[in-house]
């Protein structure tokens, strides 16, 4: 498969077309990013990398980090995770409060904000030094100690994060938050601010394409069965109320973030990261979706 040529051809085609959508306006730091950045990086499970455009520029991975926090907790406590968060698509926006009351404060899945906030609370209960231990896992996966949070983005979101503050307080009132809400939200805003390039991101998710993947400490990240389950949740919930559309158009498990990043995983083959900050109305990267649809069409590689 000539990944270089396919990626280059699609990049050139998408770049020529109109770039639609808006940056994430509700987080002031993200609304300042150059909206026409566009980068792609693919990493195969045997470590062959292919990149084009702004693939070496760091950006805020936002909700993509929710897969990494789920991973941190899942490898520590196993299936106990599912006692406090479900595995069903929500059919609602990522920051919706609607289902929580009817469903007794158990969020539908770990990728909507409510679910990721409950996961954050569970991490606070299970780890001595949660922010550091989260960073340690990501740094061990990437073998790179420069990976870090972005203080400016975390404090920017924290200063206006009223909906997440509401979600966290509401979850607390329904008994599904055990720790201090300010500490839970501090952890949550920090993990969302994690900075990576497309090149980093495509490597960071290899453990989901190849469950034999080992960190620099020679540890597996998840078991085969756990990786299957995380991929399944990405497939059904990774794009919120656009998860069906992503599955229909792209046909791979994936996850988006409001920084404009998208990661898609082809189990047994590769991970591909796309970054383009303009988002559609569901909060998913306009060009990210477009690029990946064309990519799985041209390569004829999807899981379906
Ligand atoms: O909590 C928020 O609203 C953001 N920190 C993350 C949301 C997000 O990335 C949704 N993804 N498309």
Atom in ligand 1 nearest the alpha carbon of residue 259: 9
Cα–Cα distance between 61 and 57 in angstroms, integer? 12
Of these residues, 11, 50, 188, 286, which one is catalytic?
188
- Protein residues with CB under 6 Å of any ligand 1 atom: 62-63, 94-95, 113, 157, 164, 192, 256-258, 283-284
At 180-198, the pLDDT tens digits run 999 999 999 999 999 999 9
Q: Which of 28, 33, 90, 113 to mutate to test the pocket of ligand 1 (most atoms within 8 A of CB)?
A: 113
Kindly list the distances between the CA atom of residue 255 and the CA atoms of 5, 173, 184, in Å, as whole numbers in the listed order.
25, 29, 22
Instruction: Tell me if residue 202 is catalytic.
Output: no
- Two tokens, residue 53: 């455009």
> By C-alpha distance, which of 202, 269, 265, 255 is closest to 50?
202
Taking the CA of residue 116 as reference, the ligand 1 atom at the shortest distance is 1
Mutate to test the pocket of ligand 1, among 28, 63, 110, 241 (most ligand atoms within 8 A of CB): 63
Residue nearest to atom 7 of ligand 1 (CA): 63
User: Is this prediction's pTM over 0.95?
Assistant: yes
d(CA 238, CA 263): 10
Bridge partners (DSSP) of residue 42 are 50, 272
Instruction: Report CA(213)–ligand 1 centroid distance (Å).
Output: 28
Q: What are phi and psi of 49, to 5 degrees?
A: -110, 145
Tracing tokens 């991490």 back to the chain, one arrives at 123
Catalytic choice (240, 265, 269, 286): 240
Predicted local confidence at residue 49, as pLDDT: 98
Residues of the chain with pLDDT under 70: none
Residue 124: name the closest of 167, 179, 74, 80 by CA.
179
Q: Which residues pair with 49 in a beta bridge?
A: 43
Instruction: Give CA–CA dist 193/258, Å, rounded.
Output: 11
pLDDT tens digits along 248-268: 999 999 999 999 999 999 999
| Whole-number pLDDT of residue 211 | 83
- C-alpha closest to that of 274 among 87, 19, 75, 104: 19
């Amino acid at each position: 498969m000539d990944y270089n040529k396919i990626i280059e051809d699609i990049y050139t085609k998408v770049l020529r077309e109109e770039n639609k959508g808006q940056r994430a306006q509700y987080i002031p730091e993200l609304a300042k990013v150059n909206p026409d950045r566009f980068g792609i990086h693919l990493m195969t499970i045997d470590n062959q990398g292919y990149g084009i455009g702004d693939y070496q520029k760091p950006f805020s991975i936002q909700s993509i980090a929710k897969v990494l926090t789920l991973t941190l907790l899942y490898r520590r406590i196993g299936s106990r995770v599912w006692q406090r968060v479900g595995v069903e698509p929500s059919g609602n926006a990522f920051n919706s409060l609607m289902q929580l009351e009817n469903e007794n404060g158990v969020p539908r899945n770990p990728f909507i904000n409510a679910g990721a906030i409950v996961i954050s609370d569970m991490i606070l209960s299970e780890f001595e030094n949660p922010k550091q231990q989260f960073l340690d896992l990501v740094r061990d996966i990437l073998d790179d100690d420069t990976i870090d949070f972005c203080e400016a983005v975390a404090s920017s979101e924290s200063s206006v994060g009223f909906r997440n503050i509401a979600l966290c307080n509401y979850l607390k009132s329904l008994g599904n938050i055990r720790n201090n809400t300010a500490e839970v939200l501090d952890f949550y805003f920090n993990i969302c601010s994690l900075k990576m390039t497309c090149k980093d991101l495509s490597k960071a998710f290899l453990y989901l394409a190849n469950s034999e993947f080992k960190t620099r400490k020679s540890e597996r990240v998840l078991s085969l069965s756990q990786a299957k389950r995380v991929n399944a949740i990405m497939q059904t919930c990774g794009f919120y109320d656009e998860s069906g559309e992503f599955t229909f158009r792209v046909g791979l498990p994936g996850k988006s973030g409001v920084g404009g990043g998208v990661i898609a995983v082809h189990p047994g083959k590769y991970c591909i990261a796309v970054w383009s900050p303009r988002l559609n109305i569901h909060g998913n990267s306009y060009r990210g979706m477009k690029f990946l649809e064309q990519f799985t069409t041209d390569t004829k590689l999807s899981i379906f």
